[in-house]
Amino acid sequence: MSKVKGPGDSIDKAAGIAQKRNFLKKLVKIHTANLKTDRVTVPLMKTIEMLLTADYLSEAEIQEDIHEIHSLAVSECNKSKNITKLIAGIGVFAGLVNSVDAELCKKGIKTLLFLLYHNFPKVRSMAAEKLYTGVLTMEEYEAVIPGGEDAYEAVQALLSETDWSHDAKTLAAQTKVEMYGFFGYETQLKPAEEVKRKELEAKK
């Protein structure tokens, strides 16, 4: 027998949303106060990843609050050479890929695309793995992959079949423009990547 919902259900939901928003504010406050303090922020980002993966933060009403979580994670990872921290950040960004907030989803994808061409092979490989999983589990991909089913299948193939441990400049020269394009973004190769692209073209 299905349960008949009454006024109390709406009150319970509102209370639950308020509780989660307060919780997110506390996380933001802790992260802001300890920005770039690895012993605090790395475990914090790992915790956020678990909460996102468990759908604990999936309600539409709290997605606006999670935008600040994304911004802090970006600031935390910016110019960092700490692989553990970068991997933790990737977990947060990947957790946003299936957000019901389209803008937040796009932010997560764009950050993962940036990390897909990071100098560290382990970071590139993890970003590729998480982005592939995110794309694979999307229920509605049209909003973020404008090329339709063909593009959806092509981006999965490119992510899964590319060896992301290869030389970063070669990977960028071969895949970067195409990869960004699948998600509706334009990008330019860095000068060193463009040189590598021309070298590869000359060898054909």
Domain limits at 26? 9-115
Shared domain check, 143 and 68 = no
21-43 residue pLDDT tens: 999 999 999 999 999 999 999 99
For residue 111, which of 183, 196, 25, 189 has the smallest C-alpha distance? 183
Shared domain check, 178 and 100 = no
In degrees and rounded to multiples of 5, residue 48 shows phi and psi of -60, -40
> How far is C-alpha 76 from the chain's CA centre?
14
Shared domain check, 163 and 70 = no
Q: What's the mean pLDDT when you consider all of the chain?
A: 93
State the number of CA atoms in the 13 A half-sphere of 122 facing the CB.
8
SS3 for 203? helix
Give the model's confidence band at 12: pLDDT under 50 very low, under 70 low, under 90 confident, else very high.
Answer: confident
Which pLDDT score is estimated for 8? Answer: 55
Report yes or no on 1 lying in a domain.
Answer: no
Shared domain check, 195 and 100 = no
Q: What does the DSSP 8-state code read for residue 68?
A: H
Shared domain check, 69 and 21 = yes
Give the model's confidence band at 7: pLDDT under 50 very low, under 70 low, under 90 confident, else very high.
Answer: low
84 has pLDDT over 90: yes
More confident residue, 1 or 121: 121
Shared domain check, 137 and 202 = yes
For residue 121, which of 155, 74, 73, 169 has the smallest C-alpha distance? 169
Contact partners, residue 102, CB within 8 Å, separation at least 6: 143, 144
pTM for the model: 0.91
119-160 residue pLDDT tens: 999 999 999 999 999 999 998 899 899 999 999 999 999 999
Q: How many CB atoms lie within 10 A of CB 44?
A: 21
Report yes or no on 4 lying in a domain.
Answer: no
165-202 residue pLDDT tens: 999 999 999 999 999 999 999 999 999 999 989 998 89
Domain boundary, last residue among 115, 148, 164: 115
At position 154, the amino acid (one-letter code) is A
Which pLDDT score is estimated for 83? Answer: 97
